[in-house]
Structure 1
Amino acid sequence: MLSSTASPARPRRRMVTFSAVLSSVILVVAGCVGTDDAPDSDGGTGAAGTPELTVAMITHEVPGDTFWEVVRRGADEAARKNGVDLQYSSDPEAPNQANLVQEAIDGDVDGIALTLAKPDAMAPVVQRALDAGVPVVAFNSGFDNWQDIGVAQYFGQDEMLAGRAAGERLIRDGRTNVLCVIHEQRQVALESRCAGVREGFTRGGFETLDVNSKDMASVVATLTAKLRQDQSVDSVVTLGAPIAQAAVESRDAAGSTAEIVTFDTNAALIDLIRGGDVRWAVDQQPYVQGHEAVDALWLTLTNASTVGGGQAVLTGPAWVDRSNVDEVAEYVRDGTR
């Protein structure tokens, strides 16, 4: 059984040279990917010439969701650049995710990057990490909660803001009856997105539909039944690229004329945008979220630095539609958008 007793506070780590720190700061500010391929030395230092560090990244990933492949690509690149040993784990159930965080604390990791999809469940174990002297950064989920929980830095999208922007765009598109599909219940980021869409979509009908992304066949069946029953729905908003793909299938099966729009992208979705099956996507840039979460921990551990000045570092929203899909397509295929 995992212990809930906090470990003793850790001693302050030694700082690295100014040149190494300056190099990382430049990379963070410029938003560039590092290219330092120098091998680790035998003296316990990483590729960046700093002490070897272990960072745990713990998310609420649902198996099969392509979004997290992009997050991990960014995190892996930042870890490689900085000579960090990155340990990734995930569980969509909040108690299990909290247990993974506790295991990381017990494993004496140097830093933790995590998502706060279920912030109430994660708050106690985050506090245990902080009490043990382990710095914690949050990303992707928990925009409204990270500061209250005591996390120092956050990288992600303001979901309400992004949702409002999507709702306002639906008005410009001439939509009149919107269905917003929530694929994971009680997940704060998804609920905030739909709430934001509702705020921005100030005319016509609006409804939410709960589906279970752990069972994609049931997603298609539930959405097909809804669209078949209500032919007045003229826009379906999904909150993830795989759900958008399912929505296209459901729309066709139901004989609906509803347009599909979504949050987030993947390679298959790019083709759907090109072909007109999906009108547009809101991109929160998950590669940037994973990369900057790991990079920020490296800066904290090697230079006592923080990024954002106490404010969230926003990674979105950005739009992907037919006007710019060819510009981002190669990066989506490479797993960085």
Structure 2
Amino acid sequence: MDLKITRNRRAAAIAATTAVGLLLAAGCSSQGGKKAQDAADDISAGKANTPRMKIAMITHAAPGDTFWDVVRKGAKTAAAKDNVELVYSSDPNGANQANLVQNAVDQKVDGIVVTLAKPDAMKGAIAKARKAGIPVAGLNSGLGEWKDQGLLEFFGQDESIAGEALGKRLNSMGAEHTLCVIHEQGNVGLEDRCGGVKETFDGDTDILYVNGTDMPSVKSTITAKLKQDDGIDHVVTLGAPFALTAVRSVDDAKADAKVATFDLNKELVAAVEDGDVELAVDQQPYLQGYLAVDALWLYENNGNFSGGGEEPVLTGPAFVDKDNVSEIEKFATKGTR
């Protein structure tokens, strides 16, 4: 049996070598020799040899939110592989984000990736993209709205389910009074996270709204709340930078509260390792960016779409705590988790 496998592998290797040799010989003997050589090089490097595409990725990211750096890194990796020109833009204001989508339509891009944190504001622009024949994929925010707005696919996590999972986890940790900090009012995904926590958590859950674009204000607002109510034993934030700020707020308030959060970055991973943050709920933003760009390339070149156009592709949630954080430390250091 081993001999047969060895022979088959040897034959396959010879066939592959012969095929590549014939391709190069044919290419070099014609006027298109360099193109053929480049194509062979691209194939061997795992890069697409398909017509150049232009894809616009338009998110609701606020300045300074490191979560979106990871999304963009995944998107750029897929774009490099797929011969895609990726144009990224963002604005946390729903109307402004919709204008960015309209700009992409006017530029006649080949595909659009969008978030639906404020879905009502996006309806008109997305409808115009579809009317122009531009496929639109969703990521991160908009699980409950992507099908109604006619998006091709969606990549992200169910924020309500993620919140419910964290609420149950808080129960197992003995928490009794949780403060859930929402850093962008009106963002449906963030509201769903805290709503999910409140649904399954057996103790009391307070909601605190802060201005996520003003981190000193975030810090002072959380500090004031902890001083006002010393019964709060857990602070739940909805992004890694806000968790790190909440740690400082706990110190300033001289409170006994512990911090848990949604989402990761390399600083947050270090905080989990050090015990400053108890855990994080990871939705794999790198994967969201990568899959969304790759999905539009697959649709353009092969007519593929995931989930039959009916089901989302879920990238989370998963818990990261002191027991498993070392397993992803090297990826966080690279900026991919």
* TM-score under structure 2 length normalisation: 0.86
Contact kept, 8 Å, 1:178 with 1:205, in 2: the verdict is yes
Report Cα offsets for 1:2-47 as digits up to 9, x if no partner: xxxxxxxxxxxxxxxxxxxxxxxxxxxxxxxxxxxx9679xxxx94
Gaps in structure 2 of 5+ consecutive residues: 1-36, 41-45
Report Cα offsets for 1:175-208 as digits up to 9, x if no partner: 000110000000010000000001110x221110
Report Cα offsets for 1:256-304 as digits up to 9, x if no partner: 1111000001111111101111000000000000000000000111111
Aligned-partner Cα distance in 1 for 2:323–2:97: 39
The 1:39/1:183 distance shift into structure 2, 3 A limit, reads: farther
Q: CA RMSD in A?
A: 1.3
Alignment-derived partner of residue 134 in structure 1: 134
Aligned: 1:84 with 2:80: no
Greater Rg by CA: 2
The 1:168/1:39 distance shift into structure 2, 3 A limit, reads: farther
Aligned-partner Cα distance in 1 for 2:39–2:61: 31
Alignment-derived partner of residue 22 in structure 2: none
Higher RCO structure, 1 or 2 (CA under 8 Å, sep 6+)? 1
Report the alpha carbon displacement of residue 152 of structure 1 after superposing the two structures with TM: 1.8
SS of equivalent to 2:300: helix
Report the alpha carbon displacement of residue 60 of structure 1 after superposing the two structures with TM: 0.6
The 1:83/1:40 distance shift into structure 2, 3 A limit, reads: farther
Aligned residues: 295
SS of equivalent to 1:248: helix
Aligned: 1:243 with 2:236: no
* TM-score under structure 1 length normalisation: 0.86
Structure 1 segment 117-196 matched on structure 2, within 5 A: 117-196=117-196
Aligned-partner Cα distance in 1 for 2:261–2:39: 42
Task: Spell out structure 1 runs of 4+ moving beyond 4 A.
Answer: 38-41
Gaps in structure 1 of 5+ consecutive residues: 1-37
Alignment-derived partner of residue 101 in structure 1: 101
Aligned-partner Cα distance in 1 for 2:165–2:38: 45
Aligned-partner Cα distance in 2 for 1:304–1:105: 21
Alignment-derived partner of residue 15 in structure 1: none
SS of equivalent to 1:302: helix
SS of equivalent to 2:320: strand
Aligned-partner Cα distance in 2 for 1:271–1:249: 15
Aligned: 1:286 with 2:285: yes
Instruction: Tell me which amino acid in the other structure corresponds to 1:284.
Output: Q
Structure 1 segment 1-337 matched on structure 2, within 5 A: 47-201=47-201, 203-309=202-308, 310-337=310-337
Contact kept, 8 Å, 1:167 with 1:196, in 2: the verdict is yes
Aligned-partner Cα distance in 2 for 1:47–1:85: 14
Report the alpha carbon displacement of residue 52 of structure 1 after superposing the two structures with TM: 0.8
Aligned-partner Cα distance in 2 for 1:145–1:160: 14
Contact kept, 8 Å, 1:39 with 1:47, in 2: the verdict is no
SS of equivalent to 2:307: coil
The 1:231/1:142 distance shift into structure 2, 3 A limit, reads: same
